[in-house]
Structure 1
Amino acid sequence: MHFQSWAEFWAMGGYGLFVWLSFGSSYVMLAVLAWYSHYQHKQFKRQLSAKLDREKRIKQYQEQAQ
């Protein structure tokens, strides 16, 4: 598709509002997905670390009790 001016490009033949809203909402959703994935990964690592620490303490306690 060839546009004669930047104004025509932004207008997209009268469908500019829908085109740019769809692009914008897609980018926002991708950014939120990336942030949420990063947040979940950090939360998983914290939970795993806590579980391993808990298991280590239980094992040490069992060894002391014997």
Structure 2
Amino acid sequence: MSEFLAMGGYAAFVWPSYVIGIGGLAVLALVSLRQWRAAKAELGRLEAAGLSRRGRREDR
């Protein structure tokens, strides 16, 4: 097991790259989730105001 964790002497390069990669994916997921929630809230506000997707008032 220690040989696997040492990565043939390249552990100092391999493990930080895993951490950076996973961290980057986590940040991307969080940013995407926040933007999705903001867009969903904006859509709710626009729909409540009676605006269509084209920015005109809907005739009901």
Structure having greater relative contact order (Cα 8 Å, sep ≥ 6)? 2
Which whole-Å CA distance do the structure 2 matches of 1:18 and 1:51 have between them?
49
What TM-score, normalized by structure 2, do the two folds share?
0.73
Counterpart pick for 2:5 among 10, 13, 34 = 10
> How many angstroms does 1:32 deviate by?
1.1
Q: Which runs of 5+ in 2 are unaligned?
A: 52-56
Q: Kindly report the root-mean-square deviation, in angstroms, between the aligned alpha carbons of the 2 structures.
A: 1.6
Counterpart pick for 2:14 among 9, 13, 19 = 19
Equivalent residue for 1:46? 41
What letter matches 2:24 in structure 1?
Answer: M
Calculate percent identity across the aligned residue pairs: 38
Equivalent residue for 1:33? 28
Which whole-Å CA distance do the structure 1 matches of 2:21 and 2:34 have between them?
20
> How many angstroms does 1:12 deviate by?
0.9
Following TM superposition, the consecutive aligned residue runs of length 4 or more in structure 1 with deviations greater than 6 angstroms are: none
Larger Rg belongs to: 1
What TM-score, normalized by structure 1, do the two folds share?
0.67
